[in-house]
Structure 1
Amino acid sequence: MKNKCTVLVTGVGAIIGYGIVKSLRASLYQCYIVGIDIYSDAVGKVWCDSFVAGVKADSKDFQDHIQRVVKQYSIDLIIPGIEQDLQALAIIRDTLSELGVVVALNSSYCLNTFGSKLNTRQFLLDNCLPVLETLSAKNANSIEVSKSLGYPCIAKLDKSTAGKGQRIIHDETDLAPFLGQSEYLLQRYVNSSIVKEFTASAFGLGNGDFVNLITLERTLGSDGATHKAKVTSNEPFIQQIRIICNNSRPVGPTNFQFIYDDSQNEYFLLEINPRISSSSSLRTAFGVNEAQMCIDYYLHKCIPETSVIRSGKAQRYIADNVEYDSSDF
């Protein structure tokens, strides 16, 4: 067991948050875990040493609330478990640094670039990487969509996670509500005979290098999270990931979502998540513990050791956590 540390994990009622908590428990560090969530009955609280009811990330009280928790529990490291907290913590990371606490965040460049699908598309074009045909809904018209993308195509929010706001567009009637909408993009729908999705994760070192790349072929659930996965080869993706990392220099957990289109025999990057993703607990089970690497890198300023990756497959299922009102039968 390595050094003791106190870690604050936000969003412990969500799959990423309680996945981080479980990964910390499986790490080589002796962690005192403080969980935080806006819901007082968040399931992840049962796996934490202490729990604090949180406030929404867009609340004016967010910064003061986080600072109070940091001071009360002498927090060493904060690992955000939901996208909203990540964005809010990025704004106050310098303030928190003055309190002696480190936040496990990617670089400002990666957060800003990869937080937008349209910005990500431009980054890929600038670096001569494969890009699915994409249009900004704000400037598109039905003739251009039909010619460039065809039907069906797909409407996506430019800034979203887990497929939120995503719609399949079958015809001009479906398309009409999205035209002129600045927050949406339109993209060619991969509808070939073989459609496979992959999630690859690497830990960026801030200089273009990365460690512990692991790729999972995945099946998504209705919530947009990975529900089935199996470890697969990094080979089809590693060249694209090397180019991306060399030109964006990510820091910490960085996830790359790919789709395979057999009609073009090409692996297209769908999006980059510059953070820990919902597949993190699965990666821990296969030997790559992102939460442990965050402690290594952000807290102890050392490069994480090379992980021994196990092959295999995983399937998530619904389980029950029961808390009785009394010990009496």
Structure 2
Amino acid sequence: MNKALNILVTGCGGDIGQSIGKILLKSTYTKNLFGIDISEKNAAQFIYPNFSVGLPFTHPEYLERLEAYIEKHEIDIIIPIAEPELRFFSNKNVLDTIGRAKMITASSLALEIGFDKFRTAEFLKSQNLPFPQTFLAKDIKTIETFPVILKSKTGSGSKDIHKINTMDEFLFYTRNDVESYVVQEFITDKSGEFTCGLYRSSKGEIRSQIFKRELTGGYSGYGEVIENEDITNLLEELAVKIDLVGSINVQLRITDNLPKVFEINPRFSSTVLYRHLFGFEDLIWSIQDRLGHELSDNRKNVTGRKFYKGFEEYIK
């Protein structure tokens, strides 16, 4: 029988944090579930039995207060969710423990490469892996072929992504802050867009799951589990070359029968709950591996199964 743990999820207010809370509430690893967010104006307070509002990571006392919280509540495992917070921990080289609590994140190289869209493309290029041509916006004088994709160099999600069709559009979107953007080759979604869960244990075991998805308001609103040998092989090669330990999300499209990775999110993604329901339990595996336990395996043949994004209302 697993020892039940006190688990803390920080940045729990978003869709990923809420999904992780739903998984952990049903896990035999969870004794007491704690969640911290910088705002109470989200539904996490209805999911996490021990919810509280905490300091933003930019606050000078953030780390000190977090360590005190961990000590007070005897936290065994801490799982940071928000990418800006993960950047903070990475920059501080705090990726193993905080106080008494073991930390669950992707490994350091995966974080460093995934945080920076330009570095992602340069890494893929250096490893002879398929990638979309990607340039720093500040280095561009003119664009010969349209459309192109303009995206935040360090952001996540689809909030700051633009399909650019003219030089005037490029100049408009970069007029105030060209330093923050990259320009990327446009890959048509004619063959679909794919979001992939990729997990590798500390012993080198690799597991992956591929969704062919459609976006709804910036989220994966609909998806189908597929099998694709080319994508699976690419994911396995990427996991080794990025020296992955933990779980990341890889997004790609196919052009000329070749899958090209256009983004690596070095964290649990918004499809973490869908994957879990289909037996791809990368959150649980991450906890097991961190504790030195053997990985469970509840995977089944779910090819062709579909997910649909729904919403739930809470009142008080």
TM-score w.r.t. structure 2 length?
0.92
Once the two structures are superposed, the pairs formed by residues 96-245 of structure 1 within 5 Å of their partners are 97=97, 99-142=99-142, 145-146=143-144, 150-177=145-172, 178=174, 181-191=178-188, 194-206=190-202, 209-222=204-217, 224-245=218-239
> How far has the Cα of 1:205 moved from its partner?
2.2
Question: SS in structure 2 opposite 1:291?
Answer: helix
Aligned equivalent of 1:5? 5
Percent identical pairs in the alignment equals: 23
Aligned equivalent of 1:266? 258
CA distance in 2, matches of 1:133, 1:95: 31
Question: SS in structure 2 opposite 1:294?
Answer: helix
Contact 1:12/1:42 (8 A) holds in 2: no
1:249 equivalent among 238, 243, 250:
243
Contact 1:93/1:103 (8 A) holds in 2: no
Aligned equivalent of 1:278? 270
Alpha-carbon displacement from aligned partner over 1:90-142 (angstroms, at most 9, x marks no partner): 34564973622111112222211221111111111111111112222111111
Alpha-carbon displacement from aligned partner over 1:41-93 (angstroms, at most 9, x marks no partner): 33112121211211112221211221121011100111112112222233456
Question: SS in structure 2 opposite 1:267?
Answer: strand
Alpha-carbon displacement from aligned partner over 1:267-310 (angstroms, at most 9, x marks no partner): 11011112111110111111122221222012x12342233135
CA distance in 2, matches of 1:30, 1:221: 32
Contact 1:67/1:96 (8 A) holds in 2: no
Contact 2:200/2:207 (8 A) holds in 1: no
Contact 1:297/1:303 (8 A) holds in 2: yes
TM-score w.r.t. structure 1 length?
0.88
Contact 1:114/1:273 (8 A) holds in 2: yes
Question: SS in structure 2 opposite 1:138?
Answer: helix
Counting matched residue pairs gives 312
Question: SS in structure 1 opposite 2:66?
Answer: helix
Moved more, 175-184 or 150-159: 175-184
CA distance in 2, matches of 1:212, 1:28: 22
Q: Against the structure 1 CA distance between its residues 247 and 206, is the aligned structure 2 distance closer, same or farther, given a 3 Å change threshold?
A: farther
Question: SS in structure 1 opposite 2:139?
Answer: coil
Question: SS in structure 2 opposite 1:12?
Answer: coil
Structure 2 residue 305 is matched with structure 1 residue 308: no
> How far has the Cα of 1:30 moved from its partner?
3.4
Contact 1:254/1:274 (8 A) holds in 2: yes
Q: Against the structure 1 CA distance between its residues 98 and 156, is the aligned structure 2 distance closer, same or farther, given a 3 Å change threshold?
A: closer
Gaps of 5+ in 1: 324-329
Q: Against the structure 1 CA distance between its residues 257 and 191, is the aligned structure 2 distance closer, same or farther, given a 3 Å change threshold?
A: closer
Q: Against the structure 1 CA distance between its residues 259 and 316, is the aligned structure 2 distance closer, same or farther, given a 3 Å change threshold?
A: same
Gaps of 5+ in 2: none
> How far has the Cα of 1:234 moved from its partner?
4.4
